[in-house]
Amino acid sequence: MPDMIVQYYIVMNRGNPMALIGYARVSTQDQDLSAQLEQLKQAGCEKVFYGKQSGKSDDNQKKLQELIDYVREGDIVMLTKLDRMGRSLSKILITIEELQSKNVAVKTIDGQVDTNSDDPMQKAMTQLLGVFAELEHSIIVDRLQSGRERTGRKGGRTPILNEEKKKEVITLFRAGASKNKLSKDFGVSRATIMRVVA
């Protein structure tokens, strides 16, 4: 009888979030976290991870990684605003993808992002974020290239993935290989794999 009750509970709650987990972040020591923490608490977060960056401290990143390691399938990560998740849009998108690979959704209190929603506008917003992240990456690359041209240093490191390997990555990805597996197999970061298959 107890087993039947457990099975019924699992079926009835399939697809429902197991927990609301908050993440708060500020970028300088003199900023106050209390407003974010209060909003996340009012939103129903049962646990909140937060870090404060000071000088060369990587406390924010450590706390974010702790959150990623902590969340489980079905959880929802709550933020007051999307920019609390990272310093650049590309890093934010990488984190969102990492959470989604664990079947964890991301939602902002300001309503800009909700990856758990089936609403077409929300899906479009997430896709737009990917476009802007790629644009941000292109701008950074252009700036680096311009800097090399000004200084006469046009070399740089040899790419880890040549064109042949990139094609292999794309083929394997389309065949169903995950980004995590590809990053391990080819010895590159997940971010590199994301750029190749984008």
**Active-site annotation, residues:** 27
> Following DSSP, what letter does each residue of 16-78 receive, concatenated?
S-S-EEEEEEESSTTS--HHHHHHHHHTT-SEEEEEE--TT--HHHHHHHHHHHH--TT-EEE
> Following DSSP, what letter does each residue of 61-123 receive, concatenated?
HHHHHHHHHH--TT-EEEESSGGGG-SSHHHHHHHHHHHHHTT-EEEETTSS-BTT---HHHH
Please state whether beta strands 76-79 and 47-52 pair in parallel, antiparallel, or not at all (unpaired).
unpaired
- The SS3 call for residue 154 is coil
Work out whether the CA dihedral 74, 76, 82, 84 comes out positive or negative.
negative
- CA dist., res. 73 & res. 160, Å (int): 33
